[in-house]
Amino acid sequence: MRAAQDLFHRQGYANTSLDDIARAVGIKREGVYYYFPNRTQILITIIKPLGLQLRDRVREILESDASPEEKICQTVENHLMRFENRFAESKITLRDDYFAENEDVLAEMQPIWDEYETLWVAIISEGQDKGAFDATLDPRLAHLGILGLCNWVARWYKPGSSIPVPDLIAMYNRMVLRSLRAD
């Protein structure tokens, strides 16, 4: 798994073959089939735990007694901390367009991603209902805007040489709160 994750991270999923993975581990390709039926299952095994962690934590945040501002900040923090704690999996998830083409990946991941979106939208809607966030914003579009801001980190962030993730979280949360705040 570590070898596949490293290759997917460095080369991209589309540019990594089962032969590449087998060579990195020092076995024949047939040996990989003993553990995984195909490359797609390896990918799912790498990215699914992160998707579940992200979703489950946002569910906890939504169900908490925190204020809407605290909830959205915790949700942004949850999303961005993965670049510190699980950088390779995050970059693999956001780098390739495999999920748009691969029915197996979509079948496993789309329900998780859909629920993740629903939870974000619920947090923003709750903030609107409580008067903390601008009620004229479409909660789904607001979520997509925030997620786009957060996901773009995968394109430029380099562990150890970029801004520390906690500082990035603080800055992004200031921007997000300013953009959502009710007048």
Per-residue pLDDT in tens (0 to 9) along the chain, 183 residues: 889 888 888 888 888 889 999 999 999 888 888 889 998 899 889 889 989 999 999 999 999 999 999 999 999 999 998 877 776 677 767 665 666 677 888 888 889 999 999 999 999 999 999 999 999 999 999 999 999 999 888 878 787 888 898 999 999 999 999 999 998
pTM beyond 0.85: yes
Q: How far apart are CA 87 and CA 92, in angstroms?
A: 9
How does DSSP classify residue 136? T
The domain limits of the chain are 45-180
Give domain 45-180's CATH architecture.
Orthogonal Bundle (1.10)
Q: How far apart are CA 51 and CA 88, in angstroms?
A: 13
**Are 39 and 45 in contact, with CB atoms under 8 Å apart?**
no
